[in-house]
């Protein structure tokens, strides 16, 4: 089970609590996690990444295991501790103006 933490505004939008737990079929990558997230919460489509290109929105970042994974390939495997459910995959709204 993959654990995902969303930024506050997206938690409100998706009506979820502090953490989302997802079954991810296939390799556990950013793309795989986001595919599973959007399939379960379709209202999140387009809010984290472009609906068509899959490109991460500029003011959204991805962290896990105290690493910034934002610029990693969407198809790179996520850290083992995320795969094992020991650490969450964090979707962060960048600190930028307000």
Partner 1 sequence: MSGVRVLVGTRKGAFVLTADGTRRDWQVAGPHFGGWEMYHVAGSPADPDRLYASQSSGWFGQLIQRSNDGGKTWEPVDNDFSYEGEAGEHLWYDGTPRPFEFKRIWHLEPSPDDPDLVYAGAEDAAIFRSSDGGRSWQELPALRTHGSAPRWQPGAGGMCLHTIILDPANRERMYVAISAAGAFRTDDGGKTWQPINRGLRSGQLPDEDAEVGHCVHRLAMHPSRPQTLFMQKHWDVMRTDDAGGQWREVSGDLPTDFGFPIAVHAHEPETVYVVPIKSDSEHYPPEGRLRVYRSRTGGTDWEPLTTGLPQADCYVNVLRDAMAVDTLDPCGVYFGTTGGQVYGSADGGDTWAPIVRDLPAVLSVEVQVLP
Cβ atoms within 10 Å, residue 39: 12
Closer CB to partner 1, residue 5 or residue 60?
Answer: 60
- With CB under 8 A as the contact rule, the residue among 5, 13, 65, 83 that binds partner 1 is 13
Q: Which residues contact 3 (CB under 8 A, 6 or more apart)?
A: 19, 20, 21, 22, 82, 85, 87, 88, 89
Closer CB to partner 1, residue 70 or residue 85?
Answer: 70
Over the window 23 to 62, marking each residue x when it contacts partner 1 by CB under 8 A and - when it does not, the resulting string is --------------------x-xxxx--xx----x-xx--
Asked if 88 and 66 count as a contact pair (C-beta separation under 8 A), the reply is no
Q: Which of 15, 18, 13, 12 is nearest to 4 (CA)?
A: 18
Closer CB to partner 1, residue 28 or residue 90?
Answer: 90
Q: Which residues bind partner 1 (CB under 8 A)?
A: 7, 9-10, 13, 43, 45-48, 51-52, 57, 59-60, 93-94, 96-97
């Amino acid at each position: 089970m993959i654990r995902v933490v969303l930024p506050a505004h997206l938690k409100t939008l998706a009506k979820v609590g502090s953490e989302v737990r997802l079954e991810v079929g296939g390799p556990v990558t950013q793309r795989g996690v986001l595919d599973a997230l959007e399939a379960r919460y379709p209202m999140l489509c387009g809010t984290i990444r472009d609906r068509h290109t899959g490109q991460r929105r500029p003011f959204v970042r991805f962290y896990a295991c105290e690493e910034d994974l934002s610029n990693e390939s969407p198809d790179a495997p996520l850290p083992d501790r995320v795969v094992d459910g020991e650490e969450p995959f964090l979707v962060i709204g960048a600190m930028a103006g307000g």
